[in-house]
Amino acid sequence: MKPPFRQALGIIRQLKQHGYEAYFVGGAVRDLLIGRAIGDVDIATSARPEEVMAIFPKTIDVGSKHGTVVVVHEGTAYEVTTFRTDGDYEDYRRPESVTFVRSLEEDLKRRDFTMNAIAMDENGTVIDPFAGREAIARRLIRTVGKAEERFREDALRMMRAIRFVSQLGFSLAPETKRAVIDNAPLLAHISVERMTMEMEKLLAGPFAGEALSLLAETGLCAYLPGLVGKEEGVRRAAAYRWGWLTAREERWALLCRALDITESRPFLRAWKLPNKVMDETGAILSALEAVPHSDEWTNERLFLAGLKRALSVETVRAAYTGTPPDSSHDELRRRFAALPIKTKAELAVSGKEVIQWIGKPAGPWVKETLYAIWRAVVNGEVENEKERIHAWLTERNRTQGNGC
């Protein structure tokens, strides 16, 4: 058995020794069959949460009400979930209550897509009652049973379908696609946090362009934060080189750019992104506007942006112009390496010294003077050395006659 499964075999074996059924399920089995990197290994069992907790010495009750217990086995945490069918779905979200069942097939039946409803036992034998392997072979994302029912149970599954298009390059089965179109308004019942998690995975997938086209085509877009009436921008975004981007802030910046969003803050806030992400995305967009072409970086701009952000700016620019970022990145790295100082902390003088030299009480002028000093240093007008800077400042004040 392949590595991430092999490490978890002990859990399955112990559950079986206690007389329960236990299988590998979900995304890990799917990814194994696709031949993709395998993420978290999840286990489904006929044992009830309290029975699971009684068997294993190290468990964490992360949601036993929903059937899930984390079992820590040889230093790794695994989600072990009791076979279940979900309770009532009146509000199109995952239910508050679940009903535990004793059969694997009942459990697989309530899952979203056939490729995600495949189980594997401890010998590597696959249990696939809904033809998930056939769907994988045909590169199709198809709901288990009636699409409409699956989407009514949890409307986020419509976003998941399109997120899987982006990650796997598969297509939506025709009836599944139809149901996304028909049920798109149900997305309004889903929390922003869940939509954001899917959107970030969607934008990071190797087939993000196809997925963005589908968001527009299916009409899901109209129920996503800040995307109402922005179908055209989303279609434009679909043509960009999302695969060149490496950071989430670059992805949000590129999306803002495609949608012609001039004020990124309210848009990013609608997605409830962390402040840090909103700040960096805003900074990338401001720098992109301040430096309209990759050969227009001044030393000052480069210094202010720092190398990391400057590279991000060029990555985003590359993604929408279609010109690979390699040469602009090389140039930025060379230019940045040549800067006499890389941060303000490297300046050879402090505000205190400036106050001493000038002999005036502290005030806003200190900051302005330091600003002038680092500009002169960054532009090579004066060496970053205390006495040289003192002399430069004295001369500057003499010629400017402004006394500071």
Ligand X SMILES: Nc1ccn([C@@H]2O[C@H](COP(=O)(O)OP(=O)(O)OP(=O)(O)O)[C@@H](O)[C@H]2O)c(=O)n1
Q: Which of the residues 13 through 32 are near ligand X (CB under 6 A)?
A: 26-27
Instruction: Tell whether 157 is in a known binding site.
Output: yes
CB of 28 to Mg ion, least distance (A): 7
Binding of residue 156 to ligand X (CB under 6 A): yes
Among 225, 161, 237, 219, CA closest to 193 = 225
Amino acid identity at 175: E
Structure tokens at 95: 């239910």
The CB-nearest residue to ligand X is 27
DSSP of 117-160: S-EE-TTS-EE-TT-HHHHHHTTEE-BSS-HHHHHHH-THHHHH
Q: Which is nearer to ligand X, 117 or 302 (CB)?
A: 117
Report if residue 27 touches Mg ion, rule: CB under 5 A: yes
The answer on whether 40 is annotated among ligand-binding residues is yes
- In the complex, minimum distance from the CB of residue 336 to ligand X, in angstroms, rounded to a whole number: 36
157 binds, among Mg ion, ligand X, none (CB under 5 to 8 A by kind): ligand X
Task: Quote the least distance from Cβ 197 to Mg ion, whole Å.
Answer: 12
Q: Note whether 39 binds ligand X by CB under 6 A.
A: yes
Q: Where are the alpha helices (DSSP H) in 18-155?
A: 27-34, 49-55, 104-109, 132-137, 147-153
Query: Residue 40 Cβ, how far from Mg ion at the closest point, in Å?
Result: 5
Q: Which range binds Mg ion by CB under 5 A, 20-28, 182-190, 293-301, 371-379?
A: 20-28
Place of tokens 């196809």: 210
Closest approach of Cβ 238 to ligand X, in Å?
A: 22
Q: Which does 205 bind (CB under 5 to 8 A by kind): ligand X, Mg ion, none?
A: none
CA 116 to chain centre: 21
Region of 94 on the Ramachandran plot (φ > 0 left; ψ -120 to 50 alpha; else beta): beta
Token pair 């897509």: residue: 113
Please give the distance of CA 269 from its chain centroid, rounded to a whole number: 15
Neighbours of 355 (CB within 10 A): 16
| Stretch 105-134: interaction string toward ligand X, x if CB under 6 A | ------xx---xx-----------------
Of the residues 21, 122, 154, 250, which one makes contact with ligand X according to CB under 6 A: 154
Q: Which of 342, 294, 300 shows the shortest CA–CA distance to 315?
A: 294
Which residue, chain included where needed, has tokens 């800077």? 389
CA-to-CA dists, residue 215 to 42, 223, 268, 348, angstroms = 29, 10, 18, 53
CB 159 within 8 A of CB 187: yes
Residue 334 marked as a ligand binder: no
Shortest distance, position 334 Cβ to Mg ion, whole Å: 42
Number of residues engaging ligand X in binding (CB under 6 A): 12
Mark the segment that binds ligand X (CB under 6 A) among 155-163, 215-223, 226-234, 294-302: 155-163
Cβ contacts of 217 within 8 Å, gap of 6 or more: none
The stretch among 129-137, 154-162, 265-273, 392-400 that binds ligand X (CB under 6 A) is 154-162
* Nearest Cα residue to 178 out of 209, 135, 143, 154: 143
CB of 242 to Mg ion, least distance (A): 22
Which is nearer to ligand X, 39 or 185 (by Cβ)? 39
Pick 194 or 388: Cβ nearer ligand X: 194
The two structure tokens encoding residue 199: 């959107």
Q: Tell me whether residue 71 or residue 156 sits nearer to ligand X (CB atom).
A: 156
Sign of CA dihedral 167, 173, 177, 180: negative
The first and second tokens of residue 79, run together, are 């989600």
Shortest distance, position 74 Cβ to Mg ion, whole Å: 20
Both structure tokens of 318:
């590359």
| Site residues, ligand X (CB under 6 A) | 26-27, 39, 42, 111-112, 116-117, 154, 156-157, 160
Annotated binding site for CTP: 27, 30, 111, 154, 157, 160, 163
Annotated binding site for Mg(2+): 40, 42
Annotated binding site for ATP: 27, 30, 111, 154, 157, 160, 163
Annotated binding site: 27, 30, 40, 42, 111, 154, 157, 160, 163
